[in-house]
Amino acid sequence: MNKSIVVLGTQWGDEGKGKIVDLLSRDADAVARFQGGHNAGHTLVIDGVKTVLHLIPAGILQPGVECLIGNGVVLSLKALRKEIEALEEKGVAVRSRIQISPACAIIMPYHELLDRAREEAMGDRAIGTTGRGIGPAYEDKIARRGLRTSDLLNPATLGDKVAQILEFHNFVLKQRYGVDPLDLEAVLAEALELGEYFRGQVTDVSGRLYQLREQGKRIMFEGAQGSLLDIDHGTYPYVTSSNTTVGGVCTGTGVGPDAIDYVLGITKAYVTRVGGGPFPTELFDEDGARLARRGDEFGATTGRPRRCGWLDAVALRRMVKLNGVTGFCVTKLDVLDGFDEIKICTAYRLNGQTLDAPPLDASSWADLEPVYESFPGWKDSSRGATSLAQLPPNARSYLETMENLCGAPVHIVSTGPDRNENIINQYPFDI
């Protein structure tokens, strides 16, 4: 039986990972987040009540589950505090169950200012970031000038570190973007206050994961965004700033690859994308508008409308290989209810050639022409089905086609937003 499961997105994010982490964490002892920041938004619906999480692992709504934030996360402590206090107001015990790596890179106020100023300056070439400072925080981490959680716990040295970093960023903000510089004392005071607030939550997350493994406990590793947004393997430069693929589990929590027993790839029954960047199967017609309406395709973090398109089996097949996907969870199948015809992209055309894999040159993505195969839709509702037998026959055929085209079995089907609206073909922890 599997002890450690990775849950990650196989598209451009927004696949419904939060719901599935919440579902599976009923049988987990701990859930560890391994990358990203509060640009992620995981929406959970439990008995009709919606909760949106940005930094706290989605296992927090299952009683007794430990929630770990690994070193690969860039952390806005201000946003995390707000999220904790909102949950605690609802009676959810958070601070007694959450642990934060001392090596998390910290998002500071100057990172947010830089992020927004850059996007505005780029105009039509803007990447479409959330403006929350994620990219600039990762840049400081790689440049070895960033602050870590542990720095905020040491008032004796924090002042000098903040002064040096702020001098650099204030110069860029003022001279390059015409933004008023930040006040050192105000930035330092906020950082010190947040450090004290979280002092009791900072612990050796990697060491805790080793202990859990040695004790035979069940662990889930939770990703943010999706594989096609990976900084190395995604549609660069229209990507996020971290490794959203399975390798990020090891670097972002400090465990070895032997700690991964199963990879659950989350994919919508169609595709969406937020922000800029290439999207070969994007629809600009009534079908696309219908997907957006029925799927309520607006970002949980920003509220931005998501672009919609037919399923891209070519990209999905590559992400299965890249992540070593053991099984799929297909979400939002019910959004396809009522379509007369449903299409799947099975190949691309580029400069007169047919491709069965995405181009290695990311800039070529913009010139891809999808090659579609059409499949009959279904009129009966799939919403809330809890067994394959309850699905319309054409919906079952669609899932079988996904398996054949993309190279992994469908182990779970989400048939609605609520925690209990699922078909479980194979339960990941039981395999």
Residues tagged active-site: 14, 42
* Cβ-proximal residues to 386 (8 Å cutoff; 6+ apart), any chain: 415, 420, 421, 422, 423
From 55, 86, 81, select the one nearest 68 (Cα to Cα).
Answer: 55
Give residue 163's identity as a one-letter amino acid code: A
Pick left, alpha or beta for residue 207 (phi over 0 → left; psi -120 to 50 → alpha; otherwise beta). alpha
Cβ(237)–Cβ(58) below 8 Å = no
* Cβ-proximal residues to 401 (8 Å cutoff; 6+ apart), any chain: 344, 375
3-state SS, residue 411: strand
Instruction: Report the alpha-carbon distance of residue 350 to residue 411 in Å, rounded.
Output: 33
Helix (H) or strand (E) holding 44: strand 42-46
DSSP annotation of 406: H
* Cβ-proximal residues to 287 (8 Å cutoff; 6+ apart), any chain: 339
Give residue 341's identity as a one-letter amino acid code: E
Pick left, alpha or beta for residue 335 (phi over 0 → left; psi -120 to 50 → alpha; otherwise beta). alpha
